[in-house]
Structure 1
Amino acid sequence: MTTSQKNALIVGASRGLGLGLVETFLKRGWRVTATQRKASPDLAKLATEALTIETADIDDDGAVAALHDRLKTRKYDLVFVVAGVATQAHDPLHEVPRDVAAQVYLTNAVSPIRFAELFADTVAPGGTIAFMSSILGSVGLNESGGWDNYRASKAALNTNARSFEVRHRERPFGILLVHPGWVRTDMGGAEADIDVATSVTGMADVIERRLGERGAAYLDYTGKTLAW
């Protein structure tokens, strides 16, 4: 490994955008540690000396702590928390059972921040902690409604991430919230605007351009700044 080789930790990489990001960064010469909630045959197919695969559920504090113990001596230029859920996303909020609504919030808005708090000491100077957000998390851009609980969870993630950035402002890394576009994945559906390759290529470009920048930014996969 050369001293200039970058290192990424991609959290939630078993399929879709997470898997695509792993493949993209590997092709760009990065070393990648990828996490899966359970064994992923698709992730296993990417096996190479530059890829380390770990298993952990971000909603399981014990599993995340154990993962940190295994990885605590490493330094990452990028920690990207991709994992999230969209359970009953199309149902209006009053029709979503309370336990389902609460779990979406915990997985999308709480667990990513708890993960980042624990792994902040693994981020290299000039690195980035990124969170997979969504344009649906923008309060200012919500002109159509719908996706009530999912929207709220991503808006909460954005707010929590900004508070996280303030809390760690003296540390030498930046915070990035990324909207991947409307992507043809299991979550996005077959009618979505773009494919996975377009999304992950754009996100990787944005991340590589922003390495070394401090503060918190909310951008889409093309680098456009979104309204909070």
Structure 2
Amino acid sequence: MSAKTALIVGASRTLGLGLAAEYAHRGWDVIGTVRGRRRTGLHELAEASGGSVTVESLDMTKPKQITVLRDRLAQRTLDLLFVNAAITRGNTPIGDVPEEMFAEVMVTNALSPMRVVESFRSLVAPTGTIGVMSSSQGSVSLNTNGGQDVYRASKSALNQLMRSYAARHADAAHTLVLICPGHVRTELGGPDAPLTLNQSIPGVVDTIDHHSGEPGLKFLNYQDQPVPW
């Protein structure tokens, strides 16, 4: 029986790299993407994997690169497509955010993941899973303290776009998941975040795998709990 295959977009470090390592540890073949040609932790993981992890180059904010990678992987069948990449640009009140910064965060965190999903969906097995890394900061109902205005807005937009995608493809059997990894010690989460990668990532993978084969969209955290929209 051949191994399952996961494509993880944005796997050079922290959450994405952790996902790649966890799936490889569980016996999956993993295709991970990095931006540019610099050496990353994913390259080290691939070298130590015995061939189960491969590295592809992709800047998902560039549609032409999405098309090129999709064509290169056209003969592969994906059991999991997971888009992890995202950016933040600091805790600036919305009235002070330059248009260029707003556009950059929205394109990277909301538009580009959906372009990847739309482009690669036909490579996902009929009962496979399409996942995107979201955040509880994208929850409108949980926003009682404010802050991180643009990042929050980008994740809310991502969630809304995934709901539109799910409605448009309601006849498909794909499992669709928006995942909140918790507040993890990463560049985005900061050094004082309560969770380590080792506390978050296995739960993320368990949650995704637990819902494999269930059609429709869910917004869940790393403990397999629903996140309010």
TM over 0.5: yes
Match of 1:51 in 2: 53
| Matched letter for residue 59 of structure 1 | T
Would you say 1:97 and 2:98 are equivalent positions?
yes
Match of 1:13 in 2: 11
**Normalized against structure 1, the TM-score is what?**
0.96
Residue from 21, 24, 39 that aligns with 2:22: 24
Task: Indicate the SS of the match to 2:161.
Answer: helix
Task: Indicate the SS of the match to 2:45.
Answer: coil
Query: What's the CA shift for 1:172?
Result: 2.1
Task: Indicate the SS of the match to 1:189.
Answer: coil
Matches within 5 A, 1:143-162: 143-162=144-163
| Matched letter for residue 113 of structure 2 | P
Would you say 1:33 and 2:31 are equivalent positions?
yes
| Distance (Å, rounded) in 1 between the aligned partners of 2:24 and 2:162 | 27
| Distance (Å, rounded) in 1 between the aligned partners of 2:84 and 2:172 | 22
Matches within 5 A, 1:28-177: 28-38=26-36, 39-47=38-46, 48=49, 49-88=51-90, 90-177=91-178
| Distance (Å, rounded) in 1 between the aligned partners of 2:210 and 2:98 | 41
Does structure 1 conserve the Cα–Cα contact (< 8 Å) formed by 2:13 and 2:40? no
Deviates more, 1:9-18 or 1:168-177: 168-177
Percent of matched pairs sharing the same residue: 43
Query: What's the CA shift for 1:87?
Result: 1.4
> 4+ residue stretches of structure 1 with deviation over 2 A?
38-41
**Normalized against structure 2, the TM-score is what?**
0.96
Query: What's the CA shift for 1:41?
Result: 2.6
Query: What's the CA shift for 1:32?
Result: 0.4
| Distance (Å, rounded) in 2 between the aligned partners of 1:83 and 1:202 | 19
| Distance (Å, rounded) in 2 between the aligned partners of 1:15 and 1:135 | 21
| Distance (Å, rounded) in 2 between the aligned partners of 1:56 and 1:41 | 13
> Aligned pair in 2 of structure 1 residues 63, 17: CA closer, same or farther (>3 Å)?
same
Name the Cα RMSD after superposition.
0.9
Task: Indicate the SS of the match to 1:45.
Answer: helix
Task: Indicate the SS of the match to 2:219.
Answer: strand
Unaligned runs of 5+ residues in structure 2 are none
| Matched letter for residue 183 of structure 1 | V
Query: What's the CA shift for 1:40?
Result: 3.4
| Distance (Å, rounded) in 2 between the aligned partners of 1:12 and 1:35 | 5
| Distance (Å, rounded) in 1 between the aligned partners of 2:209 and 2:28 | 11
| Distance (Å, rounded) in 2 between the aligned partners of 1:128 and 1:92 | 36
| Distance (Å, rounded) in 2 between the aligned partners of 1:40 and 1:206 | 30
